[in-house]
Amino acid sequence: MRRFILAAALAVGAPGMALAQSADELIAGGTDTGNVINYGMSYSAQRYSTLDQINKDNIKTLVPVWAHALESDQSQESQPMVYKGVIYITTENATEAIDAKTGVRKWKTVLEYDPDTYRMTCCGNMNRGVALYDGKVYRTTLDNRLVAYNAETGEELWSGKSAEIKDGYAMTVAPLVANGVVIIGASGAEYGTRGFLDGYDAETGKKLWRTWTVACPGEPGGDTWPAGDACQHGGGSTWLTGTYDPELDTVYWGTGNPGSWNPLVRPGDNLYTSSVLALNPKTGEIKWHYQFTPNDGMDFDGCNEMVLADIPVNGQTRKVILHADRNAFFYVIDRTNGELIAGNAFTLQDWAKGIDMKTGRPILSDVSLKYRDGEMVGTFPGPNGGKNWSPMSFNPTTGLAYVNALAMGFGMKPAIQEWKAGELYFGVEFGPPPATDEPPGSLRAIEPLTGKSVWKADSDVPRYAGVLTTAGGLVFTGQLTGQFEAFDIDTGKKLWEFQTGSGIEGQPITWEADGVQYIAITNGNGGVHTKFGNNPKVQIVPRAGTLWVFALMK
């Protein structure tokens, strides 16, 4: 892979200005309203801001202050980072530093890929953002590298290779820096890879550890896989960024579905797929795990974000993980030990009767049992999930989670498929989806302990954008048809929207500079629903990426 750096239009900051982010800054990131230096806007990934300059009363005067073309027609799912007046943003093949007030580019680096790279990445070519630490900007690449750049100049400092694209691996994940270690994961379950997490020394780029997310026979958890090489192609992708509790010094990371989707060829629970892993960031050691969907056969994954919160449970404050799984159940888990506190459906589903609170396991419905008998079934949710990758927000003042939920079914039947390198490894036959009167998408305000919706805002096009909530009483998200939206946090009433010109799959953020609150979002269709969906309203939307920044009209 050849890299080159475009000459900077301007130097970043004053000469000699230190653009360093310390461990203490990352820990305090959730309360730092002047910067955005954590994926999810804090180590807890709550995507909540205490800023309230933009609020219900004045949201109608929100206007764009500048827009920056990203020069890519791929999916734009990157979360912008902001530090000392500079925005850092990625596309699938570029990283940019941009003046946060003016939109003027300061530097840009571009990656060149072998053409086969784009053929081997499942479900859209994108990158979900950077990590910042100690004056460096870290990103992953589609051909499985972790690259560190100088935050001031864009100069490449080092890179490390984790896997080969020819083996089915690709990287779209935003890195996580925890206790001096840069942690990354990979996609590839649909190509029959064996999933992993890698930890790198943040200063030198030395690889410190690898933790496989699929246990093979002879390893702890390996008895949940059949004998033979099924585990070597067992999936367990790690393509969404984890969270970190500095007090417990524990990283929480979700793992994806097994490969192939056919559960009959891999009897057993198939650890550690479709699970959350609690890990030591220095060593990668698994402290505990909880499996959402044992022997997952419907592409439910467990990759969706692990939001950390301290909430009251039966009169006692508990340190928990909040997780809206693709299997359509909302989980509350004690993050100190993995104990299941609650697990309830939050959107349309018929694959399980519920979660057994004694064992933590799903109680399979007749639909699931027929599927496991080899029958074609129409089921909810389908592989798009009850919620896809788009990250939710937890608002500690309301105690609710704000989730872009889905209600899209799928027809599927187990099928025998031999694994072949470089070929998609689904192991199912697809059939017609079941009918429903439910709209395919809805923004929901959900009670974590019950899964019940306090309100919902339906949409005839599913939403795949991230969600942001603020102390101004607002919920921000976006539509695949281009609208950037703001809702009343108490009622779900839409208060404002702006047509950005391309579908929104990005992650909104907010920060303050010189007394002005800003909101930023990327647009640009090209993700899984654009690639595989057939909604005519989405198919006619232009494919072009832009970073938009908004503030109140002066």
CA distance 319 to 328: 23
CA distance 205 to 149: 11
3-state secondary structure 350-393: CCEEEECCCCCCEEECHHHHHHHCCCCEEECCCCCCCCCCCCCE
Contact 229, 317 (CB under 8 A): no
Alpha helix (H) ranges present in 1-114?
Answer: 23-27
SS3 (DSSP) at 403: strand
CA distance 488 to 456: 11
CA distance 176 to 242: 7
**Phi/psi of residue 27, each to 5°?**
-65, -35
Sign of CA dihedral 523, 527, 528, 531: positive
CA distance 51 to 550: 14
Strands 316-324 and 243-245: unpaired
SS3 (DSSP) at 28: coil
Exposure of 206 by Cβ count < 10 A (0-12 exposed, 13-18 middle, 19+ buried)?
exposed
Q: How many helices (H) and strands (E) does the chain have?
A: 5, 39
Q: Bridge-partner residues for 63, per DSSP?
A: 551
Sequence-distant (≥ 6) Cβ neighbours of residue 31 within 8 angstroms: 42, 50
Sequence-distant (≥ 6) Cβ neighbours of residue 343 within 8 angstroms: 329, 330, 331, 332, 354, 355, 357, 360
CA distance 276 to 329: 14
- Is residue 299 annotated as part of the catalytic site, yes or no? yes
Q: Which helix (H) or strand (E) holds 432?
A: none
CA distance 219 to 212: 10
Token couple for 165: 């694209």
Q: Which helix (H) or strand (E) holds 26?
A: helix 23-27
SS3 (DSSP) at 117: helix
Exposure of 332 by Cβ count < 10 A (0-12 exposed, 13-18 middle, 19+ buried)?
buried
Radius of gyration of the chain (CA): 22
Contact 110, 94 (CB under 8 A): yes
**Catalytic residue chosen out of the listed positions 245, 299, 301, 350:** 299
Contact 523, 507 (CB under 8 A): no
The set of catalytic residues is 299
